[in-house]
Amino acid sequence: MLAEGAKRLKERVEERQGLIHRWAHVLLPGMVLALSVAVYNADVDLVRAFQLKVFDQYQRSSPRSWDPEVGVRVLDLDDESLGRLGQWPWPRTQLADLIGRLAGHVRVVAFDMVLPEADRASPREVARGLPASMADVRARLMSLPDSDAVLARAITAAGKAGTSVVMGFSLTPEAGPMPQVKRTVSVSGPDVRPLLPVYKGAVVNRPAIEAALQGNGSINATIDLDGIIRRVSLVFRAEGELVPSLGLEALSLAAGSEQSYMLKSVGGSGERVLRGDAGIVALRIPAPEGALLIPTDYTGAVWLHYAGSQAPRTVPAWKVFEKGFDPASLGGGILFVGTSAAGLKDLRATPLNPTAAGVELHAELAEQVMTGHYLERPDYAESLEKYFFIGLGLLLIALMRRLGAVWCAVLTAATVGASIWLSWRAFNGDFFGKRLLFDPVLPSLVVVAVYISSSLIGYLRNEAEKRQVRGAFSRYMSPDLVEQLAKDPSRLKLGGEMREMTLMFSDIRGFTTISEQFDAHGLTAFINRYLTPMTQLVLDHKGTIDKYMGDCVMAFWNAPLDNPNHVVDACRAALAMRRDLKALNEVWRAEAESEGRKYIPIHAGIGLNSGPCCVGNMGSDMRFDYSVLGDDVNLASRLEGQSKSYGVDIVIGPKTRDAAPGFASLELDLIRVKGKTVPVHIFTLLGDEALAADPAFKALEEKHSRLLAAYRGQRRDEAEGLLKDCSAQAEAQGLGLAKLYHLYEDRLAACRAEPPAPDWDGVFTATTK
pLDDT bucket at 335, cuts 50 / 70 / 90 = very high
Q: Mean pLDDT in the chain?
A: 84
- Round to whole Å and give the CA distance between 545 and 539: 8
Strands 301-303 and 231-233: what pairing?
A: antiparallel
Lowest mean pLDDT among 126-140, 355-369, 374-388: 126-140
- Round to whole Å and give the CA distance between 263 and 42: 28
Name the residue with higher pLDDT: 458 or 416.
416
What is the separation, in whole angstroms, between the first and last Cα of the chain?
90
Query: Cα–Cα distances in Å, from 558 out to 302, 383, 618?
Result: 41, 43, 17
pLDDT tens digits along 241-257: 999 999 999 999 999 98
Model confidence at 608: pLDDT above 90: yes
The length of the chain is 769
**C-beta separation of 608 from 685 below 8 A:** yes
The vertex-251 CA angle with 246 and 255, nearest 5°, equals 150
Tell which residue, 209, 204, 274, has the closest CA to residue 238. 204
Angle of the 738-753 helix axis to the 695-712 helix axis, nearest 10: 20
Tell which residue, 498, 748, 517, 737, has the closest CA to residue 632. 498
3-state class (DSSP) for residue 233:
strand
Does pTM top 0.75 for this prediction?
no
- Round to whole Å and give the CA distance between 671 and 638: 11
DSSP string, 563-610: -TTHHHHHHHHHHHHHHHHHHHHHHHHHHHHHHT-------EEEEEEE
Tell which residue, 105, 112, 85, 225, has the closest CA to residue 168. 112
- Round to whole Å and give the CA distance between 115 and 89: 9
DSSP string, 472-532: HHGGGS-HHHHHHHHH-GGGGS-EEEEEEEEEEEEEETTHHHHHTTS-HHHHHHHHHHHHH
- Within 13 Å of residue 671, how many CA atoms lie on the same side as its CB? 24
Model confidence at 382: pLDDT above 50: yes
Average pLDDT of 614-637?
81
How far is C-alpha 194 from the geometric centre of its chain's CA atoms? 30
Q: What is the DSSP letter of 349?
A: B
- Round to whole Å and give the CA distance between 321 and 374: 36
Give the whole-number percent of the chain exceeding pLDDT 90.
Answer: 51
**C-beta separation of 351 from 56 below 8 A:** yes
Q: What are phi and psi of 320, to 5 degrees?
A: -60, -30
Q: Which residues contact 464 (CB under 8 A, 6 or more apart)?
A: none
Model confidence at 240: pLDDT above 90: no
pLDDT tens digits along 494-505: 467 899 999 999
- Round to whole Å and give the CA distance between 422 and 427: 9
- Which strand (E) or helix (H) includes residue 94? helix 92-102
pLDDT tens digits along 48-84: 888 889 899 999 999 999 999 999 999 999 999 999 9
Tell which residue, 665, 652, 739, has the closest CA to residue 705. 665
pLDDT of residue 509: 86
Q: Is the peptide bond before 560 cis (omega within 30 degrees of 0)?
A: yes
Angle of the 381-427 helix axis to the 2-41 helix axis, nearest 10: 50
pLDDT of residue 740: 94
Tell which residue, 530, 501, 754, has the closest CA to residue 626. 501
3-state class (DSSP) for residue 348:
strand
pLDDT tens digits along 700-735: 999 999 999 999 988 999 999 999 999 999 999 999
Highest mean pLDDT pick, 250-254, 273-277, 490-494: 250-254
Radius of gyration of the chain (CA): 34
- Round to whole Å and give the CA distance between 192 and 523: 78
Angle of the 520-540 helix axis to the 566-595 helix axis, nearest 10: 150
Average pLDDT of 217-227?
92
Q: Is the peptide bond before 89 cis (omega within 30 degrees of 0)?
A: yes
- Which strand (E) or helix (H) includes residue 48? helix 45-61
Query: Cα–Cα distances in Å, from 194 out to 231, 280, 298?
Result: 20, 11, 12
Lowest mean pLDDT among 130-139, 195-204, 462-471, 687-696: 462-471
Q: What are phi and psi of 238, to 5 degrees?
A: -105, 100
Name the residue with higher pLDDT: 401 or 71.
71
